[in-house]
């Protein structure tokens, strides 16, 4: 087995001192560009992987980024983290994943977050749907320790970098599609009203009805909790109305609630999509494999992960630029003055049309 190379070995091969190699690893500006390039080339040729711990101790700078996520069972996590990992794969940074398992996602985990930060392992933190902890995370955000939120709350703490999706526009597009298929009685299963995302999706649903001149029927709007049983309960209530008041389509505020609505329709002897069309929101991995396959609004989790990690890296590296590049020679699609103005990015959704709504018109089909 080949012995692992050290900084001392790289210094010998490059004909420089160990201190010079250390300065290159720690983004110091006072290294001759040609020397820097030679050292980086030798590192690449030799497959040299610097010790993260040693680098941190020597340069006072961490080569780790933290990601704070809710339960790893959440369907969005794999795609989002795939985007994060792909970007970090081109950098010298590694990722530490912190998962907080909270069944109701309503507790403020400030104490846990403080313990994580106190280890001083990470140079910055990506917080995914932090819930009530968002305010505390906002207080931690600084040039020395950047924090970026991937959140569904548009009213996130002011000044904290934020990425989310345009839930209102996505819901409007889904409802418009159902209207375009001829549906007039379109029910909506909302998510919990304590979340901003639920209000945004409801507003998008209302926007599409108003555009089409369809009067909102309050009996066709019920609140669920994002999970299948609540979708089933709400749909059961719709189908228990007098026959002439039944909805011909249901727009659920999450894929999971849409699964429950499809189950309820079958229990009532209704066919999907022949008797009732169903559309969800999220595009969970399992939605394409439902029977029938679920039409849904896709959230760009992978793209969000990529964009979030790019911005966090730019925030972490911003104090020490090297000729417009970071120390590893890669660039980001973000401005150099990234700390000078608030970062708020609302990413677009995509309507994915499948069998559960019965037809497709001028939209992405899978």
Average pLDDT over residues 13-31: 82
pLDDT at 102: 58
Lowest mean pLDDT among 87-91, 130-134, 185-189: 130-134
Q: How many CB atoms lie within 10 A of CB 141?
A: 20
Lowest mean pLDDT among 18-22, 29-33, 271-275, 331-335: 331-335
Q: What is the pLDDT of residues 290-308, one digit of tens each?
A: 999 999 999 999 999 999 9
CATH architecture of 7-59: Orthogonal Bundle (1.10)
pLDDT at 52: 52
pLDDT interval class at 255 (50, 70, 90): very high
Residue with the bigger pLDDT between 339 and 142: it is: 142
- pLDDT of 323 > 70? The answer is no
pLDDT interval class at 1 (50, 70, 90): very low
Average pLDDT over residues 60-74: 78
CATH architecture of 167-299+349-365: 3-Layer(aba) Sandwich (3.40)
pLDDT at 156: 61
Lowest mean pLDDT among 105-109, 210-214, 285-289, 356-360: 105-109
Average pLDDT over residues 319-331: 41
pLDDT at 164: 92
Q: How many CB atoms lie within 10 A of CB 210?
A: 12
Q: What is the mean pLDDT of the chain?
A: 83
Q: Which regions of the chain carry the CATH code 1.10.260.40? A: 7-59
Q: Cis link prior to 292 (omega < 30° from 0)?
A: yes
pLDDT interval class at 3 (50, 70, 90): low
pLDDT at 81: 92
pLDDT at 60: 52
- pLDDT of 89 > 80? The answer is yes
Q: What is the pLDDT of residues 343-359, one digit of tens each?
A: 889 999 999 999 999 75
pLDDT interval class at 326 (50, 70, 90): very low
pLDDT at 44: 80
Class of 64-160+301-347 in CATH: alpha beta
Q: Which regions of the chain carry the CATH code 3.40.50.2300? A: 64-160+301-347, 167-299+349-365
């Amino acid at each position: 087995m080949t012995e692992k190379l050290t900084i001392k070995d790289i210094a010998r091969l490059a004909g420089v001192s160990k201190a010079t190699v250390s300065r290159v690893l720690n983004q110091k500006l006072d290294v001759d560009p040609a020397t820097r390039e030679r050292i980086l080339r030798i590192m690449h040729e030799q497959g040299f992987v610097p010790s993260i711990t040693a680098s941190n101790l020597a340069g006072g700078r961490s080569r780790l980024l933290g990601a704070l996520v809710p339960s790893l069972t959440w369907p969005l996590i794999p795609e989002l983290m795939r985007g994060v990992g792909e970007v970090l794969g081109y950098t010298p940074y590694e990722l530490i994943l912190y998962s907080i398992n909270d069944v109701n996602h309503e507790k403020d985990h400030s104490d846990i977050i403080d313990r994580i930060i106190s280890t001083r392992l990470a140079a910055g933190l990506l917080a995914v749907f932090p819930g009530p902890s968002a305010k505390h995370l906002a207080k931690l955000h600084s040039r020395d320790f950047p924090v970026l939120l991937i959140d569904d709350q548009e009213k996130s703490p002011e000044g904290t970098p934020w990425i989310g999706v345009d839930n209102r526009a996505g819901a409007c597009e889904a409802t418009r599609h159902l209207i375009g298929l001829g549906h007039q009685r379109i029910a909506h299963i909302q998510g919990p009203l304590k979340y901003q995302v639920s209000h945004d999706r409801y507003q998008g649903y209302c926007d599409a009805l108003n555009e089409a001149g369809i009067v909102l029927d309050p009996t066709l709007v019920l609140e669920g909790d994002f999970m299948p049983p609540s979708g089933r309960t709400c749909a059961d209530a719709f189908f228990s109305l007098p026959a002439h008041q039944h909805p011909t389509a249901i727009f659920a505020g999450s894929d999971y609630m849409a699964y429950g609505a499809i189950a309820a329709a079958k229990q009532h002897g209704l066919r999907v999509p022949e008797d009732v069309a169903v559309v969800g929101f999220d595009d969970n991995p399992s939605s394409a494999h439902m029977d029938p396959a679920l039409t849904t609004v896709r959230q760009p989790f992978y793209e969000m992960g990529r964009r979030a990690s790019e911005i966090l890296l730019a925030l972490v590296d911003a104090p020490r630029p090297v000729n417009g590049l970071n120390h590893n020679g890669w660039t980001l699609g973000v401005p150099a003055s990234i700390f000078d103005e608030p970062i708020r990015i609302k990413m677009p959704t995509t309507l994915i049309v499948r069998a559960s709504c019965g037809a497709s018109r001028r939209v992405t089909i899978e």
